[in-house]
Amino acid sequence: MASVDTLITTAPGDTCAPDLADGPWTFDLGTPGYGPGASMGDIIPTGSPRQGALPAEYQRANNDELHDRIRAAKAALGRRVVVLGHFYQRDEVVQHADFLGDSFQLANAAQTVPDAEAIVFCGVHFMAETADILARPGQNVILPNLAAGCSMADMADIDSVEECWEQLTAIYGTDADESGRVPVIPVTYMNSSAALKAFCGRNGGIVCTSSNAATVLEWAFERGQRVLFFPDQHLGRNTAKAMGIPLDQMPMWNPRKPLGGNEPDALADARVILWHGFCSVHKRFTVDQIEKARAEYPGVRVIVHPECPMPVVDAADEAGSTDYIRRAVAGATEPTTFAIGTEVNMVNRLAAEYPQHEIFCLDPVICPCSTMYRIHPGYLAWVLEELVAGRVTNRISVDAAVAGDARVALDRMLAAKPRVA
């Protein structure tokens, strides 16, 4: 199967934005925004990192030239550099990654290369921040395009979360119950700023990923009467529902409204307070798409990411993190038809890697994550050649005080273990 880049340029009618065919540098100097792709409709917060102009030589170079330059720069740098690539990156970038994985695996990978002076993170901003928090002192974490943010992560900012916390503290107080559980434990999804991870570290909370959300919620309920879960309402709802928590005990917190838009009674009974955030990539998947796949491919195995809305997760056969999806496909011993609800670059790569199976994306429109899309081989060649020249470009550096508290919340996650039945 052709890469998503090739499909975009050869079949532009089937994409969500025709300007995906342009290089992402076209958008670096325009109005601040996420660029074309699934999250282009979301509002980018003021103060989001901006990428300056990519030097013209990288914009003009064709793919073959860029690949040669990337390989040459990596060879010159040797073990001084490691390139990490997230599953949602385009194939043109993934082929240069030393490690490919989900956000959690890549954060761990960053820790396994203490000799590397530079970690080039082909992913999005919160992932590079996490790598910097976990990296050894002196290692430089580099994000090839600074505009590669995450619209979901941007839906919860530290000021709104602090304000929410004040309101919740006014309602619930700070006293533990008779079994020692505090009123609220804050839980942040990995897809959040370092400031929010630090908030959790300071306030008895923890980080989770889509692969350990249930374990982390169990950890939180051992220590707290209820959970404030941000920024992804869908991961929070899907995970808590699977644990048996009724939907009417999961009020949503809209940061633009007093008490998050809730009546005090609804909050009194709450077990999980869900922040009003979502992923625009996973919001595209629908129950109709699943029904169509089942009608057209009897016996199809439908797997979706838990960032999808609850009705989609309920209608699927399975839901799991990007690594769960990869393992499900890799582990299928009989030829199988898979309909997958996650980012299209990953789905098409699985289809190419496992030709014995029929694998397709539930969404018929090619619509990559618009911020993952901001990383292009041109930026990778640029930051690597800058390193060869002795210059560190696009360094992501988390303030030491923030990093210290964020590390506490990340370490709690790393230490949390699933309950043994």
Residues that bind ligand SF4 (CB under 6 A): 39, 88, 124, 150-152, 191, 279-281, 343, 369, 371-372
Is 290:307 a contact under the CB 8 Å cutoff?
no
Cα–Cα distance measured from residue 388 to residue 391, given in angstroms and rounded to the nearest whole number: 7
Residue 102: name its binding partner from ligand SF4, ligand 13P, none (Cβ under 5 to 8 Å by kind): ligand 13P
CB of residue 332 vs ligand SF4: minimum separation in angstroms? 24
Residue 161 vs 279, nearer CB to ligand SF4: 279
- Per DSSP, the three-state class of 306 is coil
Instruction: List the one residue from 210, 212, 280, 370 that touches ligand 13P (CB under 6 A).
Output: 210
Q: Is 215 in the site for ligand 13P (CB under 6 A)?
A: no
Instruction: List the one residue from 39, 51, 89, 103 that touches ligand 13P (CB under 6 A).
Output: 103
**Strand 272-275 to strand 318-319: parallel, antiparallel, or no bridges (unpaired)?**
unpaired
Is 199:139 a contact under the CB 8 Å cutoff?
no
- Contacts of 186 by beta carbon, 8 Å cutoff, 6+ apart: 161, 165, 199, 200, 203, 204, 205, 227, 228, 230
Residue nearest to ligand 13P (CB): 102
How many chain residues are in contact with ligand 13P, going by CB under 6 A? 11
Residue 101: strand pairing partners: 86
Residue 210: name its binding partner from ligand SF4, ligand 13P, none (Cβ under 5 to 8 Å by kind): ligand 13P
CA proximity to 98, closest of 121, 117, 131: 121
CB of residue 97 vs ligand 13P: minimum separation in angstroms? 14
Residue 360: name its binding partner from ligand 13P, ligand SF4, none (Cβ under 5 to 8 Å by kind): none
CB of residue 131 vs ligand SF4: minimum separation in angstroms? 15
At 229, list the tokens.
Answer: 């879960």
Is 58:377 a contact under the CB 8 Å cutoff?
no
CB of residue 103 vs ligand 13P: minimum separation in angstroms? 4
CB of residue 279 vs ligand SF4: minimum separation in angstroms? 3
In the region spanning residues 267 to 286, those forming contacts with ligand 13P, defined by CB under 6 A, are: 279
Cα–Cα distance measured from residue 50 to residue 33, given in angstroms and rounded to the nearest whole number: 9
Q: Is 130 in the site for ligand 13P (CB under 6 A)?
A: no
Q: Is 193 in the site for ligand 13P (CB under 6 A)?
A: no
CB of residue 175 vs ligand 13P: minimum separation in angstroms? 35
Residue 78's CB: how many other CB atoms inside 10 A?
Answer: 9
How would you class 178 by CB atoms within 10 Å of its CB: exposed for 0-12, middle for 13-18, buried for 19 or more?
Answer: exposed
Q: How far is CA 409 from CA 123, 168, 208, 211, 276, in A?
A: 21, 20, 9, 16, 22
Residues that bind ligand 13P (CB under 6 A): 102-104, 190-191, 209-210, 279, 307, 321-322
